[in-house]
Structure 1
Amino acid sequence: MGHARLRFGHYELDLNGKQLRHHGQAVRVEPQAVEVLCHLIAHRDRAVTKEELLDTVWSGRQVTEAALAAAVHAARHAVSDTGERREVIRTVHRHGYQFVAPVTPVPTSNTYDSIRFCRTMDGTCLAYTILGAGPPLVSAANWLTHLGLDRRSPMWRHWYRDLMRDSRRTLRYDDRGGGLSDWCPPSASPQVWVEDLDTVVDAAGFDTFPIIGTAQAAATAIAYAAARPHRVSRMILISSHARGRQVRARTDLDRRVADVDLNLATVAWQSADPSFLRAYAAQFLPNATAAEWDAYLEFTQRTTSPENMVRFFEILATMDVFPLARQVRCPTLILHSRGDPRVPVSDATELASLIDDSRLVVLDSDNHLFSGTEPAWAELVQHVDDFLAD
């Protein structure tokens, strides 16, 4: 294929990682569309037939030319080649397509992570990346992530700086339904979470590893550790959202609060009303400023569709992996904020009681997602370092 990264106009295409960027920012492209782009730019010296694209992009699976036309249309839209005069992908009458924009190679550097893709048994495309070198660490996918954006997000960048450092070979992936993975509807099934994680770790060549689950990803980590005890050596759970509000409700008031919470989330994301959105963001970062809430919301709105966001909140409200926690056999560290407004510390205490070899550390914080500037964050990092070093 020659050079792995090629630039045309203000766009840059990583042929190995199947990643498109515009002015340095990752562009959300459907997997088939980016495959079309990669094949056309790699063979830009000639017109590529429709048959060749169908065989290459869909690996011989029977699909119609309409599917190819849709993928080409999406590829053109991704690179703003939407005018009457095609300046990037030109249609060759009765033959196929040719990439015609001027291209220059990009020197190899470590500016961006190499993002890779794998496909599950049901055909869902999952995006993953491996950071650093050294002992392995798998980060279970939590929602509202985007492999192309989140390392620069104020909400997440300290997690990568301090927990997923160069001295660890950390595997991360975007969950189905968001980020750079397929934006299909998210699944509420722990079995699907386990199978997706199997797909990613197998593609990355990971065998036995510690696993870390933050917020909703704690549910995936617990389900995986219970189902695959031979693969998980240790488990770290942070701000564990392992049981939804509607599940843990015990009184009429609890149930009304759970219903209001779900209704607020639904209205906020369907209407995009800033007042509703800020009210929801405040539950995750209650001590943040209005500007920090807006930055958090701007980032999350780029991670998935409004429809998937609403489905995700329904999953959060009703999921329950507490029964699976009894089956976990690996050493487990549970870190939780004393004043977590999303998941009460009592849930973390009960979860710890279900896992035989577990240790609960309650940190002085009021945030569900720890900020990088609060004292509790440095304590959390030290606990994780000590636990992984044992």
Structure 2
Amino acid sequence: MIHRFADCTLDTGRHELCRDGMPVHVEPQVFALLAMMAGSGGEVVSKDELIARVWKGLNVSDATISARINAARKAVGDDGTAQRVIRTVPKLGFQMVAPVTVEGAAGPAKTSAAPAIRYVASADGELIAHAHHGAGPPLVRVGHWLSHLELDWDCPVWQPLMARLGEHFTLYQYDQRGTGLSTRDTGNLSLDAFADDLAAVVEANGLTRVAIFAASQAVPVALRFAARHPERVSRMALYGGYSVGRVYREAAPGEVDEETILGLIRAGWGREGSAFLNAFLALFMPDATPGQVKSIVRIQQQSVSAESAVLLRQAVDRLVAEDDLAHVRVPVLLAHAREDAIHPFSQSQRMAAKLPDARLMMLDTRNHMPLPQEESWEKLMQAVISFCLGDG
């Protein structure tokens, strides 16, 4: 992703900072700080957020932070007096005040209307909301938790991903049953039902063969679909997923158990500012900006109730697609965050060992939900696009 501000260009894909067209050498922590500020959308970034993102939560002094801020200012031609690029907000943190334009997450603007939404009945009669946009070969984004076809279009977490994929593909996506604009009140949350929903969307759009992008709990759904309909799938890019649900696998170091997550949902679902919600989001996207958090809270509030969220979480924690792995005959890209606290990296390792044609990609991040301001996001997008186009 390329950020342009003042007379600077910050390319997170190449890990390069240029000023007046000339490369500027900066230390990795200074580059990470600049990338975080440039991707903040003009919001104030607190010292705690800087420590969590740049220093990975290590205990650092105010003097260390000040030194890195000063180095960042010097690199972009700013200083502590002028503060034309980075402004110090007393007692709150720091703010990127120079206007920033972004390339690499281009596409429909956040204010663009969402694509037209249509409905299809799944095998058991439940209604599934689906939509598509973009141009190019078909790519289906499998439905998952915390999505809403309309609200996603204004979400700073999901919109850049949809826009980027829409530059290269006709992107088809749908709301998972029980969430968003699909049927909310459903008693069938089985893996076969989820796979039937995917099949219904593919069929409704007249797609004969598609590439698939699936994340988290959508991964076992994609595996089941590919095993059942091998002629309908060309390639699959799977991010942060699993083949054995949480309740049936031995907990990995640092992995959070089901009861903890269910307790956080019951206590804080959609309650902005609550300690329970903050703890929940810290597991899924610890490096999110305040704006990203606010948007995801809005989706929580309007996509599914706390009671239904608990039922969905219990269902997806029991999805098992282990027996499907041997029957998936298409090339598969498995990408996974190194420090994922929701589904451990070992799950992608396990799938890579059992899938007939798989390659594994580790991403240097701790965010289960991919965040566009991270360098790992750009690497993920490049890999998914190249792989699903058949170039990788």
TM-score > 0.5, shorter chain as reference? yes
Find the residue that maps to 1:225 and give its secondary structure: helix
- State the match for 1:258 in structure 2: 258
2:147 touches 2:303 (CA, 8 Å); kept in 1? yes
- State the match for 1:268 in structure 2: 268
1:249 touches 1:258 (CA, 8 Å); kept in 2? no
Matched, 1:361 2:364: no
Matched, 1:223 2:232: no
Find the residue that maps to 2:150 and give its secondary structure: coil
Tell me whether 302-311 or 228-237 shows the greater mean CA deviation: 302-311
Q: 1:55-113 CA distances to partner (integer Å, 9 max, x unpaired)? A: xxxxxxxxxxxxxxxxxxxxxxxxxxxxxxxxxxxxxxxxxxxxxxxxxxxxxxx8441
Letter of the structure 2 residue corresponding to residue 120 of structure 1: S
Matched, 1:145 2:143: no
Matched, 1:125 2:127: yes
The correspondence of residues 1-390 of structure 1 with structure 2, limited to 5 A, is 111-165=113-167, 167-185=168-186, 187-249=188-250, 257-269=257-269, 274-290=274-290, 292-390=292-390
Letter of the structure 2 residue corresponding to residue 161 of structure 1: A
Letter of the structure 2 residue corresponding to residue 179 of structure 1: G
- State the match for 2:93 in structure 1: none
Find the residue that maps to 1:300 and give its secondary structure: helix
Distance in 1, matches of 2:250 and 2:189, equals 19
Letter of the structure 2 residue corresponding to residue 192 of structure 1: A
Distance in 1, matches of 2:247 and 2:154, equals 34
1:262 touches 1:317 (CA, 8 Å); kept in 2? no
Letter of the structure 2 residue corresponding to residue 133 of structure 1: A
Find the structure with the greater CA-based Rg.
1
| Change over 3 Å in CA distance of 1:289–1:173 after alignment to 2 | closer
1:335 touches 1:360 (CA, 8 Å); kept in 2? yes
Distance in 2, matches of 1:256 and 1:373, equals 25
Q: 1:119-158 CA distances to partner (integer Å, 9 max, x unpaired)? A: 2233211111121122111111112111111011012111
Distance in 1, matches of 2:187 and 2:152, equals 19
Q: How many equivalent residue pairs? A: 279
1:126 touches 1:175 (CA, 8 Å); kept in 2? yes
CA displacement at 1:305 relative to structure 2: 2.2
CA displacement at 1:237 relative to structure 2: 0.1
CA displacement at 1:272 relative to structure 2: 8.0
CA displacement at 1:116 relative to structure 2: 0.9
Q: 1:317-340 CA distances to partner (integer Å, 9 max, x unpaired)? A: 222222222221110001111111
| Change over 3 Å in CA distance of 1:146–1:198 after alignment to 2 | same
1:176 touches 1:186 (CA, 8 Å); kept in 2? no
Distance in 2, matches of 1:259 and 1:370, equals 24
Q: Which runs of 5+ in 2 are unaligned?
A: 1-111
Q: TM-score, normalised by structure 2?
A: 0.66
1:240 touches 1:348 (CA, 8 Å); kept in 2? yes
Distance in 1, matches of 2:188 and 2:141, equals 18
Q: TM-score, normalised by structure 1?
A: 0.67
* Larger RCO: 1 or 2 (CA < 8 Å, sep 6+): 2
- State the match for 1:38 in structure 2: none
- State the match for 2:107 in structure 1: none
Distance in 1, matches of 2:136 and 2:368, equals 30
CA-based RMSD = 2.3
